[in-house]
Amino acid sequence: MIAIKKICCIGAGYVGGPTMAVIAKYCPNIQIQVVDINKERIDSWNNNDLSKLPVFEPGLPEIIKAVRGSNLHFSTNLVDAIKNADMVFISVNTPIKKSGIGAGQSSDLRWVEACARQISKIALGHTIVVEKSTLPVRTAKTIKEILFATNDNSNKEKSFSVLSNPEFLAEGTAIKDLESPDRVLIGGEDLEAMLALKDIYLNWVTDEKIIFTNLWSSELSKLSANAFLAQRISSINSISAICEVTGANIQEVANAVGRDKRIGDKFLKAGPAFGGSCFKKDILNLVYLSKYYGLDQVAEYWEKVVDINYWQKNRIYEEIVKRLFGNLFDKKIAILGFAFKANTNDTRESPAIDICKNLINEGASLLIHDYKVSEKSIAKDLSSLDVNSWEYLPNVYDVIMETDAMVILTEWDAYKKLDWERISLHVRRPFWIFDTRSILEVDKLENLGFNIWQLGNGSNIK
């Protein structure tokens, strides 16, 4: 049995940081170096003020406090970290390609390839290379080719095993997901290497939850799992629109449908469209793969899940414009929530971005609030627009003051507990509330004289 003593993780992002923190917590005898080319990010991971960590995740600061500097280290020194490691995790970004063949659908593998080349050059002895990033099926073949192409005659002992170990954590619940995963998937060809990785997880995950597959099943399972999850959201979002025109209520429908054990009640929450860095990219990856192998019907099937997602964001924006008399010039709109979901500071693919851009293009001035997203992130996401068209304010009540409407885009718990009587005294009339997350009590708000449109709530029909 290969005993892993030193791990290097390339990529200190939303996956690399929390994943290595949890491994460090449960494996005190393993020394872990998390490395990144982004110095600012590494500095934030090393910040003594734990509220400044680059990733906001409940439970993460406590773990970082306990293990950082002991067996978990963050640095920009890739060379030393790779040289010393028995196992190297590749946990870098794999966004959609912006140009060239497969643009808009296939993954841009430049960062993964760069990692493979560096590992190939720098590693010493036998190194187990673990794909943690989500990758197109058969990427392990590319990684192997690059690793084994090294011409380093000075180190004849150099050898590699490549494993696929996709990550299933969701942001906002990353620590919980990592500490009690539904399963841990290990794909590979080298049983000894697979057992070495399994041995690490066995420190806190039970044996029956650890699945061994071949490399390609592991890579494909990750894309498929995300596609299935996203498909459920597009399904329930499509039904939310039917509710609005028929008088049904999406929460009642989701509850009734989800009570069937074969369907299950998870991931049936209608909303302003799925965001996050992965769902869209991973489905489009599946679409690209299907087209590549001539499976056009399969590609079209999955593409529809993404189409409905665009449509959902768009129809919300249209509902807002329609209710504000078709004109947003001289109107101030409060945006409550910019993160793609609650309990994260991540805005990648957040539906808030497209909805805000569309509202600004209609002439509205936006006042934006979020509990964890920084003004800097919002500015980056809205950089194509006039800076005077929106303003970020840290206090939620300041955002709502003297506005014509409010749009709830992220389901932060605190938005459910706002002081509506106080708000009612300081807004322009008529005032509209657009609740795209269905978190508010409609009757209570109507009694205070607010107009409210709630996603999937058929009682909107007036």
- Please list the active-site residues: 167, 222, 278
Q: Which of 269, 342, 365 is nearest to 312 (CA)?
A: 269
Choose between 281 and 313: whose C-beta lies nearer to ligand NAD. 281
Choose between 13 and 188: whose C-beta lies nearer to ligand UGA. 13
Binding ligand UGA (rule: CB under 6 A), the pick from 41, 97, 313, 341 is 341
Q: Write b or e for each residue in 276-305: b if 16 or more Cβ atoms lie within 10 A of its Cβ, otherwise e.
A: bbbbbbbbbbbbbbbbeeeeeeebeebbeb
Choose between 232 and 281: whose C-beta lies nearer to ligand NAD. 281
Contact pattern for ligand NAD over residues 271 through 310, marking x by CB under 6 A: ------xx--------------------------------
Q: How many Cα neighbours within 13 Å face the side chain of 296?
A: 0
Instruction: Report if residue 299 touches ligand UGA, rule: CB under 6 A.
Output: no
Instruction: Report if residue 223 touches ligand NAD, rule: CB under 6 A.
Output: no
Choose between 105 and 249: whose C-beta lies nearer to ligand NAD. 105
Selection from ligand UGA, ligand NAD, none that 94 binds (CB < 5 to 8 A by kind) is: ligand NAD
Task: Tell me how many degrees the CA angle 368-402-336 measures, rounded to the nearest 5.
Answer: 25
Binding ligand NAD (rule: CB under 6 A), the pick from 11, 181, 188, 275 is 11
The footprint of ligand UGA on this chain (CB under 6 A) covers a number of residues equal to: 21
Residue 411, token pair as written in the block = 């389901």
Minimum Å gap between C-beta 219 and ligand UGA is: 13
Choose between 78 and 135: whose C-beta lies nearer to ligand UGA. 135
Choose between 37 and 195: whose C-beta lies nearer to ligand NAD. 37
The interface with ligand UGA within residues 165-224 (CB under 6 A) comprises 167-171
Minimum Å gap between C-beta 249 and ligand NAD is: 31
Instruction: Report if residue 111 touches ligand NAD, rule: CB under 6 A.
Output: yes
Instruction: Report if residue 55 touches ligand UGA, rule: CB under 6 A.
Output: no
Binding ligand NAD (rule: CB under 6 A), the pick from 86, 108, 167, 319 is 167
The interface with ligand NAD within residues 52-91 (CB under 6 A) comprises 78, 91
Selection from ligand NAD, ligand UGA, none that 129 binds (CB < 5 to 8 A by kind) is: none
Binding ligand NAD (rule: CB under 6 A), the pick from 4, 7, 8, 12 is 12
d(CA 360, CA 244): 25
Minimum Å gap between C-beta 51 and ligand UGA is: 21
Minimum Å gap between C-beta 9 and ligand NAD is: 9
Task: Tell me how many degrees the CA angle 66-69-72 measures, rounded to the nearest 5.
Answer: 80
Instruction: Report if residue 133 touches ligand NAD, rule: CB under 6 A.
Output: yes
Binding ligand UGA (rule: CB under 6 A), the pick from 276, 337, 456, 458 is 276
Choose between 168 and 301: whose C-beta lies nearer to ligand UGA. 168
Binding ligand UGA (rule: CB under 6 A), the pick from 161, 165, 218, 226 is 226
CA dihedral 331→334→340→344, nearest 10 degrees, is 160
Instruction: Report if residue 134 touches ligand UGA, rule: CB under 6 A.
Output: yes
- End-to-end Cα distance, the chain: 69
d(CA 286, CA 292): 10
Q: Which stretch binds ligand UGA (CB under 6 A): 104-112, 257-265, 268-276, 393-401?
A: 268-276
Residue 199, token pair as written in the block = 């041995």
Note the residues at the interface with ligand UGA (CB under 6 A): 134, 167-171, 226, 229, 233, 267-269, 271, 274-279, 340-341
